[in-house]
Amino acid sequence: MIKAVIFDLDNTLIDFMKMKRIACEQAIDAMIDSGLTLNKKEALEKLYKIYFKEGLEDPNIFQKFLKKTTGDVDYRKLSHGIVAYRDARTGFLKPYPGTKKILTSLKDRGLKLAIVSDAPKIKAWIRLVNMGIDDLFDIVVAYEDTGRRKPSSLPFKFALKKLKLKPEECLMVGDMPHRDMKGAKRIGIKTCFAKYGYEGKTKVETDYSIDNIDELLDILKK
């Protein structure tokens, strides 16, 4: 019997990549308006290239971008970019449609709810607070808790310990097959692939898959 649902955060509860694209575009626009001599398309391509090399959570990404593209860090341009990025990000931090309703329904059924994310703990909590769903979760497991990222099973084992539950009593819902599904399945946690948050094509070994978070209720009825 399922007693807890463990969620990935980005692209499972929030459309993180869409938020990232919008915020990056606003940041580049602001830096160009403040004197950056690159066209927007070229600037975004260079920024994304650095992101995919350094990681999507890199806190110094705009410093690295300016250093790479101009040879120096102009703090005026940097500040314009950071302010625009933060404003856009905060305005877009909303859960997928219907998410809060589903989470509330799961809590009403007596299920425990958890987050297992690779994001830094403070960023994970800020996103949850911004979305107004932080009070629905019993635990949040982030990178600092184990020092390991998915598909390592350590974050999932840590979550089980905090929840005081066995693997077979939990369902993991995530959008990254090679990370969320693999890490959870390895230790016996049931898995649900959130297809709506995955942009690629893949064959996934998973217990369930959903096109919309609403479908989670039907799975749990089984």
Same domain, 64 and 170: no
What average pLDDT score do residues 157-183 get?
95
Query: 63-90, pLDDT tens digit by residue?
Result: 999 999 999 999 999 999 999 999 998 8
63 and 164 inside one domain = no
Q: Which of 9-13, 92-96, 146-150 has the lowest mean pLDDT?
A: 92-96
CA distances from 37 to 40, 66, 127, 168 (A): 9, 11, 33, 56
Confidence of residue 39 (pLDDT cuts 50, 70, 90): very high
Q: Note whether 110 and 22 are same-domain residues.
A: no
> Both 71 and 172 in a single domain?
no
Q: What pLDDT, on the 0 to 100 scale, is given for residue 93?
A: 80
- Helix residue ranges, H only, the chain: 16-33, 40-54, 61-70, 75-92, 99-108, 121-131, 143-146, 154-163, 182-185, 216-221
Terminal alpha carbon distance of the chain: 9
Residue 198 predicted with pLDDT over 90: no
Query: Does one domain contain both 160 and 125?
Result: yes
Predicted local distance difference test score (pLDDT) of residue 199: 74
112 and 158 in one domain?
Answer: yes
In this prediction, residue 178 carries a pLDDT of: 86
> How far apart (Å, rounded) are the C-alpha atoms in residues 170 and 5?
6
CATH no. for residue 79? 1.10.150.520
Among 48, 71, 92, where does a domain finish? 92
- Specify the 3-state DSSP secondary structure of 48: helix
Give percent of the chain with pLDDT exceeding 70.
Answer: 99
pLDDT at site 177: 85
Q: How would residue 221 be classed by pLDDT, with cut points 50, 70 and 90?
A: confident
- Count up the domains in the chain and report the number: 2
**44 and 101 inside one domain:** no
Q: Could you say which of 92, 121, 139 is where a domain stops?
A: 92
CATH number of the domain enclosing 146: 3.40.50.1000
Segment 71-78 long-range contacts (CB within 8 Å, at least 24 positions apart): 74/35, 76/34, 76/35, 77/31, 77/34, 77/35, 77/36, 78/31
Domain final position from 43, 69, 92: 92
Instruction: Write out pLDDT tens, residues 106-159.
Output: 999 999 999 999 989 998 998 999 899 999 999 999 999 999 999 999 999 999
Tell me the three state secondary structure of residue 4.
strand
More confident residue, 18 or 152: 152
Residues 186 and 108 in one domain: yes
Strands 112-116, 139-141: pairing kind: parallel
Mean pLDDT, residues 8-34: 94
Mean pLDDT of 164-175: 97
User: Please, which residues bridge with residue 112 across strands?
Assistant: 4
Look up residue 39 and give its two tokens.
Answer: 């066209």
Range of the domain at 24: 17-92
Element (H, E) at 190: strand 190-194
Q: Which residues contact 150 (CB under 8 A, 6 or more apart)?
A: 116, 118, 156, 176, 179, 180, 182, 183
Helix (H) or strand (E) holding 192: strand 190-194
**Same-domain status, 195 and 135:** yes
Longest Cα–Cα distance of the chain, Å, equals 59
Q: Are residues 103 and 114 in the same domain?
A: yes
Q: Are residues 60 and 70 in the same domain?
A: yes
Looking at the structure, tell me whether residues 110 and 168 fall in a common domain: yes
